[in-house]
Chain A
Amino acid sequence: MDKKISVKVCLGTTCFVMGSANLQELIETVPAKYGDKVDVSGVPCLGLCSIDWEFSKAPYVKVDDEVIKEATVEKVLKAIDEKLK
């Protein structure tokens, strides 16, 4: 069986305020859509925001090793679909 895709939604303060509060729905909808092919979880600060002024690109989501900047539900789902191809 293929390795599971890992999706990490950063729920650190910066990402949370800049929009990951609204990405929390992924934690429910992704398993419903993809079953056990994808592992999704909310995680503490990934440390991506603290590099200089990079807070403006928050919220961050990691899909495997790929970092999604200014993440939205649509962007994350698209990235998952790409990986599953």
Chain B
Amino acid sequence: MAINTPRQTSHLKREILIRLIKAFLSDNFPENARLIPYQMRPKDYEAAYRCCVYKERAILRDRTIAGLGLSIEETDDSTHMAELAEHVLARTEPEENPLTVLQTACKGCVPSRIYVTDLCQGCVARPCVNTCKFGAISVKNGKSVIDPEKCKNCGMCVQVCPYQAIAKIIVPCENACPVGAIAKDENGHARIDFDKCISCGKCVSACPFGAVHEKSQIIDVLKHIKAGKKVIAMVAPAIFGQLPCSPKQLKTAIQKLGFAEVYEVAQGADVTTKTEAKEFEERLLKGAEFMTTSCCAGYNELVDKHISELKPFRSDTKTPLYYTAEIVKKEHPDAITVFFSPCVAKRKEAMKNDNIDYVLNYEEVGAWFIALNIKVEDCDESSFKTEASAEARNYAVTGGVANAVKTLLPEELPVYPVVIDGLNKQSIRDLKKYAKNGVCELGNLIEVMACTGGCLGGNATVNSFKPALKQLTNYVKESKSLKSEEISES
């Protein structure tokens, strides 16, 4: 599976964010926010994606609404954009559901189904007819025909056709969603069922129209900084693979945005590792068959909403973000905390935790640097007050969490890490099976990452996976191992 492929839709989303930030910093935010679609599609512009500039502007308006952190579905088309901007300036809390769908972009997608193409030869063997368990295929006028009433979309006929003449037509968002939370409604518009949604962000990455948007909190954060509040950034380790600069340069760059201080969430990851290692050992001594990690917000949502039988097996240890936010609020009770996230799932986690006020993703942070013309690669270096361990910084890479926990466990303890590298329908089936049987035949320490590749594969990352991995790994290599810390402490 490809990880985080580059897309024109990302370019559009980022351009809107940059323009929104510039508008906010201008002397007339509401008016300049209103003008964004017109600046991006001026009168003489030749429409590149849609029928005409008018439709493109309408779509850009909707995308801007998501940039303002509002729900596109619930916003009336007739409401003046400037009015919406005013409303956002007045709000005190971000909206609850973190995703919104640009439904006007959904029209083109045809519903998922199995389709017999013209390539069907009406052959003698007819494996499609014979394989179909539901008796949905018959041959009429020398061609296979599918009865939509009987077809269950299982795709067996697609696999057996010797001419590859049967196609499975998919809706990319529906196909990517591992929990069936997004589907087309009766009007052909994709709709997210937030009771089911685990905020994994896979639909955001999958939609070729970029129709699924995160509701941005960038204006809320800008507002606090403009008001002179003490705003503190907490950056997840994945960020150190995202931009063309060193971690210490990035710290300076973030301070230039107006943040009073920058904490590495890896600092909290060190607490997670220690707590989780202790917990794992205790569980094993009590006879537990296996334990899963608990740091991935997408996975935690999955367990809470869909696999409650897995709860007893999930570590009770809190996430690195939880511990980091706790430390920050203790040291700065008056501060506003902002988590810099590689994915949408952390927005849900933040909403449930009073110590985390806002979440920005890496696209938003990148856009902010551009809007202020901060060149991260030219920034001076400044050090983090607390240095995190190599293992903690490697949490962002699949396998990193299990490896960190293993590092702290006694050698005689039988530890067999298993890595679930990305949630999909198959890995969810596997997890359900482990919960049901009370045992995982592959090992006893199961690390679960919702995104393939770990946090570096998150839906809101900027860098592509391989160079990001290389960059982060260099940082991990120059960091101190937990092992050496243990030796120095004893």
A residues lining the B interface (CB < 8 Å)? 11-14, 16-19, 21-22, 24-25, 44-45, 49-50, 53, 55-56, 70, 72
- Whether, in the assembled complex, B18 has its beta carbon less than 8 Å from a beta carbon of chain A, the answer is yes
For the complex, give the distance between the alpha carbons of A45 and B379 in Å: 13
For the complex, give the distance between the alpha carbons of A11 and B14 in Å: 17
Main secondary structure of the interface of B (DSSP, over half): helix
- Whether, in the assembled complex, B440 has its beta carbon less than 8 Å from a beta carbon of chain A, the answer is no
For the complex, give the distance between the alpha carbons of A56 and B18 in Å: 9
User: Does A18 contact B14, Cβ atoms closer than 8 Å?
Assistant: yes
- A9 → chain B, closest Cβ, in Å? 11
For the complex, give the distance between the alpha carbons of A21 and B14 in Å: 14
User: Does A13 contact B462, Cβ atoms closer than 8 Å?
Assistant: no
For the complex, give the distance between the alpha carbons of A72 and B6 in Å: 9
Can you offer 6 A-B residue contacts whose CB atoms are under 8 A?
A11-B377, A16-B244, A44-B377, A45-B375, A45-B377, A55-B370
User: Does A12 contact B377, Cβ atoms closer than 8 Å?
Assistant: yes
For the complex, give the distance between the alpha carbons of A44 and B374 in Å: 14
- Whether, in the assembled complex, B103 has its beta carbon less than 8 Å from a beta carbon of chain A, the answer is no
User: Does B6 contact A18, Cβ atoms closer than 8 Å?
Assistant: no
**Which residues of A are found within 8 Å of B374, using beta-carbon distances?**
13
- A8 → chain B, closest Cβ, in Å? 14
User: Does B11 contact A70, Cβ atoms closer than 8 Å?
Assistant: yes
**Which residues of B are found within 8 Å of A11, using beta-carbon distances?**
244, 377
**Which residues of B are found within 8 Å of A44, using beta-carbon distances?**
377
User: Does A12 contact B375, Cβ atoms closer than 8 Å?
Assistant: yes
User: Does B6 contact A22, Cβ atoms closer than 8 Å?
Assistant: yes
- Whether, in the assembled complex, B367 has its beta carbon less than 8 Å from a beta carbon of chain A, the answer is yes
A17's partner among B39, B370, B373, B467 (CB-CB below 8 A) is: B370
- B46 → chain A, closest Cβ, in Å? 14
**Which residues of B are found within 8 Å of A12, using beta-carbon distances?**
244, 375, 377
Main secondary structure of the interface of A (DSSP, over half): loop
Write out, one digit per residue, whether chain B residues 365-380 have a CB within 8 A of any chain A CB (1) or not (0): 0110110011111000
User: Does A24 contact B467, Cβ atoms closer than 8 Å?
Assistant: yes
For the complex, give the distance between the alpha carbons of A14 and B15 in Å: 11
- Whether, in the assembled complex, B40 has its beta carbon less than 8 Å from a beta carbon of chain A, the answer is yes
Given A16-B244, A25-B466, A55-B18, 8 more pairs with CB closer than 8 A: A12-B375, A13-B243, A17-B14, A19-B6, A22-B5, A22-B464, A24-B464, A56-B18
- Whether, in the assembled complex, B398 has its beta carbon less than 8 Å from a beta carbon of chain A, the answer is no
Question: Which residue in chain A gives the minimum CB-CB distance to B15?
Answer: A56
User: Does A13 contact B375, Cβ atoms closer than 8 Å?
Assistant: yes
- B19 → chain A, closest Cβ, in Å? 8
For the complex, give the distance between the alpha carbons of A61 and B15 in Å: 18
- Whether, in the assembled complex, B444 has its beta carbon less than 8 Å from a beta carbon of chain A, the answer is no
Q: Which of B432-490 contact A (CB under 8 A)?
A: 462-464, 466-467
For the complex, give the distance between the alpha carbons of A6 and B376 in Å: 25
- A53 → chain B, closest Cβ, in Å? 8
- A17 → chain B, closest Cβ, in Å? 3
**Which residues of B are found within 8 Å of A24, using beta-carbon distances?**
464, 467
Question: Which residue in chain A gives the minimum CB-CB distance to B373?
Answer: A50
**Which residues of B are found within 8 Å of A56, using beta-carbon distances?**
15, 18, 40
Q: Which of B366, B370, B463 has the most CB of A within 10 A?
A: B370
Question: Which residue in chain B gives the minimum CB-CB distance to A28?
Answer: B466
User: Does B462 contact A21, Cβ atoms closer than 8 Å?
Assistant: yes
For the complex, give the distance between the alpha carbons of A51 and B373 in Å: 11
Known A-B contacts A22-B6, A56-B40; the reply to A17 vs B377 at CB < 8 A is no
Question: Which residue in chain B gives the minimum CB-CB distance to A73?
Answer: B6
**Which residues of A are found within 8 Å of B252, using beta-carbon distances?**
none
Q: Which of B40, B363, B464 has the most CB of A within 10 A?
A: B464
User: Does A13 contact B11, Cβ atoms closer than 8 Å?
Assistant: no
- A19 → chain B, closest Cβ, in Å? 6
- Whether, in the assembled complex, B407 has its beta carbon less than 8 Å from a beta carbon of chain A, the answer is no
**Which residues of A are found within 8 Å of B39, using beta-carbon distances?**
53
**Which residues of A are found within 8 Å of B363, using beta-carbon distances?**
17
Question: Which residue in chain B gives the minimum CB-CB distance to A70?
Answer: B11
Write out, one digit per residue, whether chain B residues 1-25 have a CB within 8 A of any chain A CB (1) or not (0): 0000110001100110010000000
